[in-house]
């Protein structure tokens, strides 16, 4: 069955899910965006360079996966997918995100790892339902302070970017349990992170840290801190080394 037949069948059956992964697709036919019943669309492992503006027509979409393609940019109209819960865009060539992604207020899981992101729009602060955000292996040099508004965030992956600092506003992420910031250029960690009462795991390997803030000893649930491959000239504060139940890898 060719692509247009698959799409015609899905439309006739008012399909809720459509898997078009690994089909060597370079372009998406306009007919695809007429299947307004779709809730899940999988376009992984194709050769797509862009997503057409028509994506905004799929108003019922809850899950969109376009991982392992050649995407260079996203259309502004992606912001019209107001029901989207899951957005998977890993392993592409995205250098930026349109501000309209801030309209995706029902997102729960976002993966934009392994791209070429240089920065993030401040509008990501509107993702107040996102619990897991994967941004590792990009080219990010800073993170907008509005990330502190993502109050549901539990897992944040920022490894292997070009971050010289992380915003103190992370202290507002009251539900954060895992923070990964290995392989960056951090010379210090904000003392405000000591306010993260649910933080369990903090991984800071391969940065340029000389010490850690003593305030991290106030993170009641903290089980692991890793600072392998850091200069650590001033060492790890005794308050952390002596904290019961905390394992420090250095």
The CATH number linked to 81 is 3.80.10.10
Number of domains in the chain: 1
Q: What is the DSSP letter of 247?
A: E
| Any domain includes 4 | no
Residue 236: CB partners within 8 Å, gap ≥ 6? 211, 212, 225, 227, 248, 250
Give the N- to C-terminal CA distance of the chain in Å, as an integer: 56
| Any domain includes 87 | yes
For residue 159, CA distances in Å to 13, 18, 188 come to 43, 32, 15
1 confidence band (pLDDT: 50, 70, 90): confident
pTM for this entry: 0.97
Q: In what order do the strands lie in the sheet with 224-226?
A: 17-19, 40-42, 63-65, 86-88, 109-111, 132-134, 155-157, 178-180, 201-203, 224-226, 247-249
How confident is the model over 62-109, as pLDDT tens digits? 999 999 999 999 999 999 999 999 999 999 999 999 999 999 999 999
Q: Other CB atoms closer than 10 Å to residue 244's CB: what's the count?
A: 4
| Any domain includes 11 | no
Residue 149 domain boundaries: 41-249
């Amino acid at each position: 069955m060719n692509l247009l037949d698959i799409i015609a069948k899905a439309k006739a059956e008012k399909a809720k899910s459509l898997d078009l992964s690994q089909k060597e697709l370079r372009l998406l036919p306009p007919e695809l965006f007429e299947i307004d019943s779709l809730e899940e669309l999988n376009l992984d492992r194709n050769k797509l360079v862009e997503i057409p503006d028509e994506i905004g027509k799929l108003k019922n979409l809850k899950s969109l996966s376009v991982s392992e393609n050649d995407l260079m940019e996203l259309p502004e109209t992606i912001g019209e997918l107001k029901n989207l819960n899951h957005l998977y865009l890993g392993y592409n060539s995205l250098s930026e995100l349109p501000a309209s992604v801030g309209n995706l207020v029902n997102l729960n899981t976002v993966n934009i790892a392994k791209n070429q992101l240089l920065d993030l729009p401040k509008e990501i602060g509107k993702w107040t339902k996102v619990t897991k955000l994967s941004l590792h292996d990009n080219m990010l040099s800073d993170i907008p302070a509005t990330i502190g508004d993502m109050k549901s965030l539990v897992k944040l992956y920022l490894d292997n970017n070009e971050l010289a600092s992380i915003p103190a506003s992370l202290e507002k992420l009251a539900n954060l349990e895992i923070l990964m910031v290995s392989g960056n250029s951090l010379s210090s960690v904000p003392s405000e992170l000591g306010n993260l009462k649910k933080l369990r795991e903090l991984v800071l390997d391969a940065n340029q840290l000389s010490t850690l803030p003593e305030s991290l000893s106030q993170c009641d649930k903290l089980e692991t801190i890793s600072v392998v491959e850091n200069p650590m000239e001033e060492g790890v504060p005794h308050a952390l080394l002596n904290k019961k139940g905390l394992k420090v890898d250095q």
